[in-house]
């Protein structure tokens, strides 16, 4: 085998053989295939796609690159959730302790920011002392004692994906459906969860811009999970507008704590409860009430224990950016559109995301929204506040917000898009 022939096969719209796939994943993991060569192959896959057989083999090869975990020793059924990425998508933070409070164990392996979308681990690392990197033994201990754990996949779990995930982020190949599906499902299958709920985002702020592509991705992942013995369900959810009122790292942690305290934005609460119900059903837990667990404080109790078990201080003051810039409404009327992608790019440019895989992120950077579509605004009213430690980035962020919102005359009728668009099982 040689990598050039593998690249040429996919470049020329050919089907990669099982032997080619097994070899290139193993060789890349060992460093025999260079980043620039895998970048070329990833771009060829983005442009020319893969069939079901290729995707299944690619996923299997990613799993085979490392170890597989097992949670049979736990007294609770396991349920995990994965989002394909959005703007302001902090749902994992309140969701994991909520589902744990309802009786399931949640082994949540999460990732870092990818393109304009935020990363769960980046958000949680804004909590002083919190650790994303746990050994398998530490992960199992936290899961057993608190009911939920949110951490990075260990070096032994699908190491091929860890390398490829970072590479996709900086080579314009994030949106490739075969690579998204295999990346997500290789980790989730190797992780050993008994059931999995997928939150497949649809809209401008998602990698899947239209519902047909989102359904294709959802069906691909549900098929991969089901074939591997993992009960898998997917919800297609709207990402045309940012979720909640924040996009950033510490900003989103703060908002997640508000949800766990019984408040928070209505759309975040709605989606958190919808996903919790799906996870509990998939785990075979039929009599739990997630809304009650939010209201009675039990979800918050699980959050505090989970954060503390990973070295974090749930009472610590979260970082705040040194500089702010307020964007005001240019006219009065009804805000009818707020584009998620523009807000996500602005947060990324302010320092909440990465331009290169080795870049740090700013804990306090991001965008805080003061109005959502359907709200009435007046001229001069704050629409959003930009946060960053590097004020020279304001102009760059503001450029991404040009044309991202519409204000119609007062009295204009507005109809909100449902959060949950479809369900695939």
Three-class DSSP category at 1: coil
Residues 179 and 187: beta-carbon distance below 8 Å: no
List the catalytic residue out of 122, 161, 199, 238.
Answer: 161
Give the predicted TM-score (pTM) of the model. 0.90
> Helix 52-64 crosses helix 159-169 at what angle (to 10 degrees)?
120
**CA–CA distance from 385 to each of 19, 24, 411 (Å)?**
52, 46, 26
Q: In the annotation, is 199 catalytic?
A: no
Going residue by residue through the chain, which has 425 residues, state the pLDDT in tens, using 9 for 90 and above. Answer: 899 999 999 999 999 999 999 999 999 999 999 999 999 999 999 999 999 999 999 999 999 999 999 898 999 999 999 999 899 999 999 999 999 999 999 999 888 876 788 899 999 999 999 999 999 899 999 999 999 999 998 878 889 998 998 898 789 898 899 999 999 999 899 999 999 999 999 999 998 999 999 999 999 999 999 989 999 999 999 999 999 999 999 999 999 999 999 999 999 999 999 999 999 999 999 999 999 999 999 999 999 999 999 999 999 999 999 999 999 999 999 999 999 999 999 999 999 988 776 788 999 999 999 999 999 999 999 999 999 999 999 999 999 999 999 999 999 999 999 999 999 99
The pLDDT value given to residue 223: 93
Three-class DSSP category at 46: helix
Measured torsion, CA atoms of residues 214, 41, 223, 89, in degrees rounded to the nearest 10? -40
Burial of 200 (0-12, 13-18, 19+ CB in 10 A): buried
DSSP 8-state class, residue 393: G
Q: In the annotation, is 387 catalytic?
A: no
Task: Write out the E strands in 58-105.
Answer: 80-83
The pLDDT value given to residue 157: 85
Q: How far apart are CA 327 and CA 382, in angstroms?
A: 6
The token pair at 313 is 């201080």
* CA end-to-end distance (rounded Å), the chain: 38
The pLDDT value given to residue 81: 96
Q: In the annotation, is 357 catalytic?
A: no
* pLDDT per residue as tens digits for the range 255-314: 999 999 999 999 999 999 999 999 999 999 999 999 999 999 999 999 999 999 999 999
Place of tokens 């295939």: 33
List the catalytic residue out of 81, 112, 168, 354.
Answer: 168
Q: How far apart are CA 85 and CA 118, in angstroms?
A: 7
List the catalytic residue out of 82, 123, 201, 393.
Answer: 82
If you write DSSP's letter for every residue of 159-178 in order, what string do you get? Answer: HHHHHHHHHHHTTT-TT-HH
List the catalytic residue out of 187, 277, 304, 387.
Answer: 187
Burial of 289 (0-12, 13-18, 19+ CB in 10 A): middle
Q: How far apart are CA 332 and CA 345, in angstroms?
A: 26
The pLDDT value given to residue 207: 85
Three-class DSSP category at 376: strand
Which domains are seen in the chain, by residue range?
3-49 (no CATH), 80-155+178-309 (3.40.1030.10), 323-408 (3.90.1170.30)
The token pair at 274 is 């919808």
Q: How far apart are CA 232 and CA 137, in angstroms?
A: 26
Q: In the annotation, is 183 catalytic?
A: yes
Q: How far apart are CA 267 and CA 253, in angstroms?
A: 16
Burial of 308 (0-12, 13-18, 19+ CB in 10 A): middle
Residue 143: which H helix or E strand, with range?
helix 136-146
The pLDDT value given to residue 357: 66
Q: How far apart are CA 337 and CA 335, in angstroms?
A: 6
| Partner residues linked to 83 by β-bridges | 199
Q: How far apart are CA 89 and CA 91, in angstroms?
A: 6
Q: In the annotation, is 204 catalytic?
A: no
Kindly report the number of other CB atoms within 10 A of residue 75's CB atom.
6
The pLDDT value given to residue 262: 95
| C-alpha radius of gyration, the chain, whole number | 21
* pLDDT per residue as tens digits for the range 352-364: 988 776 788 999 9
List the catalytic residue out of 65, 83, 183, 228.
Answer: 183
Task: Write out the E strands in 281-402.
Answer: 323-328, 333-338, 366-369, 376-377, 382-388
**Neighbouring C-alpha atoms within 13 Å toward the C-beta of 68:** 15
Q: How far apart are CA 363 and CA 350, in angstroms?
A: 11
Place of tokens 């060569």: 37
């Amino acid at each position: 085998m040689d990598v050039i022939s593998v690249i040429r096969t996919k470049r020329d719209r050919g089907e990669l053989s099982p032997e080619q796939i097994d070899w290139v994943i193993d060789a890349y993991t060992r460093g025999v295939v260079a980043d620039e060569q895998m970048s070329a192959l990833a771009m060829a896959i983005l442009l020319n796609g893969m069939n079901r057989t290729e995707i299944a083999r690619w996923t299997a090869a990613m799993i085979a690159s490392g170890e597989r975990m097992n949670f049979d020793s736990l007294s609770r059924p396991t349920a995990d959730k994965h989002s394909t990425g959005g703007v302001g998508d902090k749902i994992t933070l309140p969701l994991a302790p909520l589902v744990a409070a309802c009786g399931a164990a949640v082994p949540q392996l999460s990732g870092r920011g990818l393109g304009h979308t935020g990363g769960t681990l980046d958000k949680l690392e804004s909590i002083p002392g919190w650790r994303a990197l746990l050994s398998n033994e530490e992960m199992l201990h936290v899961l057993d004692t608190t009911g939920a754990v949110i951490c990075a996949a260990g070096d032994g779990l699908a190491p091929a994906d860890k390398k490829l995930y970072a590479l996709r982020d900086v080579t314009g190949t994030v949106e490739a459906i075969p690579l998204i599906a295999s990346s997500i499902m290789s980790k989730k299958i190797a992780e050993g969860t008994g059931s999995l709920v997928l939150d497949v985002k649809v809209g401008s702020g998602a990698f899947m811009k239209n519902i047909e592509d989102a359904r294709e991705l959802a069906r691909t992942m549900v098929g991969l999970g089901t074939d591997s013995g993992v009960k898998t369900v997917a919800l297609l959810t709207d990402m045309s507008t940012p979720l909640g009122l924040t996009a950033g790292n510490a900003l989103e942690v703060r908002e997640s704590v508000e949800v766990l305290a019984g408040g928070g934005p209505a759309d975040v609460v709605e989606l958190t409860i919808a996903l919790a119900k799906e996870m509990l059903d998939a785990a075979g837990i039929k009599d739990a009430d997630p809304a009650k667990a939010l209201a009675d404080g039990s979800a918050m109790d699980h959050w505090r224990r989970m954060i503390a078990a990973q070295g974090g201080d749930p009472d610590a003051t979260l970082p705040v950016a040194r500089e702010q810039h307020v964007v005001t409404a240019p006219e009065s009327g009804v805000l009818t559109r707020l584009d998620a992608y523009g807000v996500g790019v602005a947060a990324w440019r302010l320092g909440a995301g990465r331009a290169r895989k080795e870049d740090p992120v700013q804990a306090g950077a991001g965008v805080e929204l003061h109005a959502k579509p359907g709200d009435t605004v007046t001229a001069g009213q704050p629409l959003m506040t930009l946060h960053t430690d590097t004020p020279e980035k304001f102009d760059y962020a503001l450029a991404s917000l040009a044309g991202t919102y519409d204000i119609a005359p007062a009295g204009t009728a507005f109809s909100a898009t449902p959060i949950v668009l479809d369900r695939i099982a």
